[in-house]
Amino acid sequence: MVAQVPEVVLASGSPRRRELLTLLGVEFRVQVSGEDEDSDETDPHALAAELAALKGRSVAALNPDSLVIAADTVVAVDGVLLAKPADAAGNADFLRQLSGRTHGVFTGVSVFIGGKERTEVARTDVTFRSLNNAEIEYYSQSGEGLDKAGGYGVQGLGQALVSRIEGEFSNVVGFPMSVVIGLLREHGIPVWGAVNQEAAPA
């Protein structure tokens, strides 16, 4: 008898996370958490884990029979956390801080099912080119970075800001595929249509 696969609920409104989960062939629906994401945590690794769990916990409470997956991305440069810029001027300030330097991108991924939860955090180090004022002004005025941690989107125009990536590219997008695939398979969710998870490559 084949075990019933639980419904998957993505507790995120991010179009990038929806796209990546769709690419894995996973059927899911979106239910965005309305939880306040404020935190006093200053360690980026711990903060990414805390915010991912916070996003997923309230959605999981409403969907006890589903597998809820949530994620949150945090950017830090030399110990300074860069959230989402409030406006173009703030975005430009972020880019000046990142210009010519290496920063860390941390994404926490939390999974909830059957009253249990598990969270993992992926880290990728990203190095920016030295940006001139014209480049900073052009990108900040594009609006692309306003809804993104760190103030840039590596999958769009923001890829032109980057000179080197050490780690998983999809983590910089906000959904580390290696972590997501591992957590889904661990809970019996087919990835890329694989029915026999024991036969699927690790």
CATH of domain 8-186: 3.90.950.10
Contacts of 5 (CB under 8 A, 6+ apart): 188, 189, 190
Task: State residue 190's pLDDT score.
Answer: 87
Residue 193 reports pLDDT greater than 90? no
Residue 202 reports pLDDT greater than 60? no
Instruction: Provide the token pair at 199.
Output: 């036969």
Query: pLDDT tens, 162-189?
Result: 999 999 999 999 999 999 999 999 998 9
**Are residues 157 and 144 in contact, defined by beta-carbon separation less than 8 angstroms?**
yes
Q: Which residue is catalytic, options 38, 43, 65, 72?
A: 72
| Inter-CA distances, 15 with 37, 106, 181, 195, Å | 19, 18, 18, 27
Residue 135 reports pLDDT greater than 80? yes
Task: State residue 192's pLDDT score.
Answer: 84
Which of the four pLDDT bands, split at 50, 70 and 90, describes residue 38? confident
Question: For residues 123 and 108, what is the distance between their CA atoms, to the nearest angstrom?
Answer: 9
Mean pLDDT of all residues in 40-60: 95
Question: For residues 73 and 47, what is the distance between their CA atoms, to the nearest angstrom?
Answer: 9
Which of the four pLDDT bands, split at 50, 70 and 90, describes residue 1? very low
Query: pLDDT tens, 51-75?
Result: 999 999 999 999 999 999 999 999 9
Arithmetic mean of pLDDT over the chain: 92
Supply the pTM of this predicted model.
Answer: 0.90
Which of the four pLDDT bands, split at 50, 70 and 90, describes residue 36? low
Residue 134 reports pLDDT greater than 80? yes
Sign (positive/negative) of CA torsion 97, 99, 102, 104? positive
78 as an active site residue: the answer is: no
At 119, give phi and psi (nearest 5°): -130, 135
Q: Up-side HSE of residue 161: CA atoms within 13 Å toward CB?
A: 34
